[in-house]
Amino acid sequence: MIEVTDATFAAEVLESDRPVVVDFWAPWCGPCKAIAPILAGLDAAHDNVKFVKLDIDENPGAAGKYGILSIPTVMVFDGGEPKETVVGARPKAHFEKALAPWISA
């Protein structure tokens, strides 16, 4: 997973030619650390979707624009638009189901 910033968010996420899964997280967030291996595993298994992470403490612009009030929040962007949101630490099966329209394409 690559790190994106407010400065690179548009190019890496909104202008991407494939769906992008964005992990909005912070270093102090325990549940964020808990889901990181799940998202990394999904990233390794699915080449048709890009997985990125954005530290909301260092990059409040994108987090504010998309109304991130609780972390972890994982959003799928497709065609530059948010399409799916998962809030909170969830098991792998939950992420697989929520992301299925994009990761199984």
Q: What is the pLDDT of residues 28-84, one digit of tens each?
A: 999 999 999 999 999 999 999 999 999 999 999 999 999 999 999 999 999 999 999
In a domain, 67, yes or no: no
Q: Is 31 within the bounds of a domain?
A: yes
Q: What is the dihedral of CA 96, 23, 37, 11, to 10 degrees?
A: 100
Domain extent for 35: 1-6+20-52
What are the residue numbers of the active site?
A: 29, 32
Residue 35 in domain: yes
Asked whether residue 83 is domain-assigned, the answer is no
Domain assignment present for 27: yes
pLDDT digits (tens, 9 = 90+) for 12-37: 999 999 999 999 999 999 999 999 99
Q: Cα dihedral sign for 59, 65, 71, 72?
A: negative
26 inside domain: yes
**Structural domain includes residue 28:** yes
Look at the chain and report how many structural domains it folds into: 1
